Copies of this chain bind each other. A is one copy, B any other.
Amino acid sequence: MATVVTRENIKMREKTLTMETLNPQVKAVEYAVRGPIVLKAGEIERGLQQGQKHPFTEVIKANIGDAHAMGQKPITFLRQVVALCSFPELLESPSFPEDAKVRAGRILQGCGGQSLGSYSASQGVDCIRRDIAAYIKQRDKGVPADWDNVYLTTGASDGIVSILKMLVSGQGLSRCGVMIPIPQYPLYSAAIAEMDAVQINYYLDEDHCWALDINELHRAYLAAKEHCHPRVICIINPGNPTGQVQSKKCIEEVLHFAFEENLFVMADEVYQDNVYSTDCQFHSFKKVLYEMGPEYFNTVELASFHSTSKGYSGECGFRGGYMEVLNLDPEVKAQLVKLLSVRLCPPVSGQAAMDVIVNPPLPHEPSYPQFHEEKSTILGALAEKARMTEHILNAVPGIKCNPVQGAMYAFPSIFIPPRAVEEAKALGMPPDMLYCLRLLEDTGICIVPGSGFGQREGTHHFRMTILPSMEKLKVLLEKLRDFHIKFLKKYSSLEELER
């Protein structure tokens, strides 16, 4: 025990956890939404606070779908219910409306010891699961929904990762392949890397408003079959980062394809309330599957994900969410519950927030007018900002933006002059990373390079949210336009400019 620690054996002691010994699957993970540009933005922000000089006075974060951080106000009713659940003495307070008290009382009844501080069942609080099933049934015009198939999650991410974890197995030719759209939300690529599965890219069709092309699915599937076992198809609808809303026909084709090829379907539907284009409508994968008939509805394995973070409530910090699974083998379901139980339960206040979203005030209830007013104001503003963003961006030479039909993002393609491409290469970064970096340094605007989401070779994009207030978003878009023109000028030869 009396080992003398000398200078020598200190020097010899290497760290246990180094870049060399780190789990290589962790190393392989990339997550652009909080990547290098965002870290740099944080640095600049701290610099500004300490009095450093920049050509701007504030950093505008349009990198992440974080509505409240961009000034969106919470839905009053939701917060009243959460506050009542958190501090039940308020149930006696005359300043809270009756319907909020009834909701809170009901949720607390479902909690152990009537406290938000108890663990819930691993699948979530029973009455909240029932409310979710009732919501799904109503949303899908009567398609049956069994609350036993509903699991509360810690945001949608947690559900997505859990389902993927169940599916990933095999080595070599039988290694699990996961089909994901490109561009994609990088949670998918990150989870696939972490689990050492095979990422199978199917490209969305930018020329047709980022539609999913069934032929491209076939191509990707057949190519992947050569080297792995495709077992899962992930769809994001409405699209992130691409903002498209899938047509019913397109969803039918995907489901038929999944049926034929025995694929597990993961439908990321967290933007189901965010549809702005008047000629689009949200169709849930489940409803479409039902309408395809019992042969499909009783066989295709489907998991659909929703969240408190998006929609009109934008409650990201509560980490609420749920998934509904369909046609899962009963034994597999037991395994899923077991897997979820290791993490004990999703945050119960997030579950309460989810409950309010699926079970908002009804027209005859006292909180309805305010709730309805807040909800329409938020969704109306988002729709207007979606149109304005598309409009302003498309007026800039060298920027082309599809309509933002839904979700919360624009994902325009940008022309990057060859000289800028070369400079980026010399700096060891993708060209759109250089673009976003220069934009940040020049204007304080923080957006995410398209390379973080995936894009066709040789094309360049960025993702920006439409969440800043109308005034701020307008300023942002104008600054972006001016920057873009300057950037083109700086890197283009005279001939290119004249073309």
Contacts and interface: CB of A to CB of B under 8 A. Distances in A.
Contacts of A119: 64, 66, 69, 309, 316-317
Interface in A224-268: 231-232, 253, 256, 259-260, 262-264
B23 A167 contact: yes
A10 B299 CA distance: 8
Contact of A117 (B74, B339, B341): B74
Contact of A23 (B5, B80, B166, B194): B166
Interface stretch (A150-158, A282-290, A410-418, A471-479): A150-158
B74 A83 contact: no
A474 to B, nearest CB: 19
Nearest to A2: B256
Q: Which of A113, A165, A262, A299 has the largest number of chain B CB atoms within 10 A?
A: A113
A328 interface: yes
A256 to B, nearest CB: 7
B295 A5 contact: yes
A80 B70 contact: no
Contacts of A494: none
Q: Which of A74, A115, A316, A338 has the largest number of chain B CB atoms within 10 A?
A: A115
Interface string A24-41: 111101110110000000
A86 interface: yes
Contacts of A19: 329, 331-332, 335
Given A256-B1, A296-B5, A338-B29, A115 B23 contact: no
Interface in A108-128: 111-113, 115-122
A219 interface: no
Nearest to A30: B338
B318 A23 contact: no
Q: Which of A84, A93, A329 has the largest number of chain B CB atoms within 10 A?
A: A329
Interface string A431-458: 0000000000000000000000000000
Nearest to A351: B317
Interface stretch (A141-149, A271-279, A342-350, A371-379): A342-350
A280 interface: no
Nearest to A71: B113
B5 A293 contact: yes
Interface string A307-331: 0010001111111000000011101
Contacts of A350: 347, 349
A53 interface: no
Contacts of A93: 95
A165 B23 contact: yes
B167 A317 contact: no
A88 to B, nearest CB: 8
Given A16-B231, A83-B90, 8 more contacts: A5-B259, A17-B329, A21-B167, A21-B231, A66-B118, A69-B113, A111-B317, A318-B348
Interface of A: 1, 3, 5, 10, 13-19, 21-27, 29-31, 33-34, 42, 64, 66-72, 74, 79-80, 82-84, 86-87, 90, 93, 95, 111-113, 115-122, 154-155, 157-158, 161, 165-169, 186-187, 190-191, 194, 231-232, 253, 256, 259-260, 262-264, 293, 295-296, 299, 301, 309, 313-319, 327-329, 331-332, 335, 338-339, 341-350
25 contacts: A5-B259, A13-B262, A16-B263, A19-B331, A19-B332, A21-B167, A25-B169, A29-B338, A30-B338, A34-B338, A66-B112, A71-B113, A79-B86, A80-B87, A82-B86, A115-B317, A119-B309, A165-B194, A187-B342, A190-B342, A191-B342, A316-B345, A317-B348, A319-B344, A349-B350
Q: Which 5 A-B pairs have the closest CB atoms?
A: A69-B112, A317-B348, A83-B87, A68-B115, A34-B341
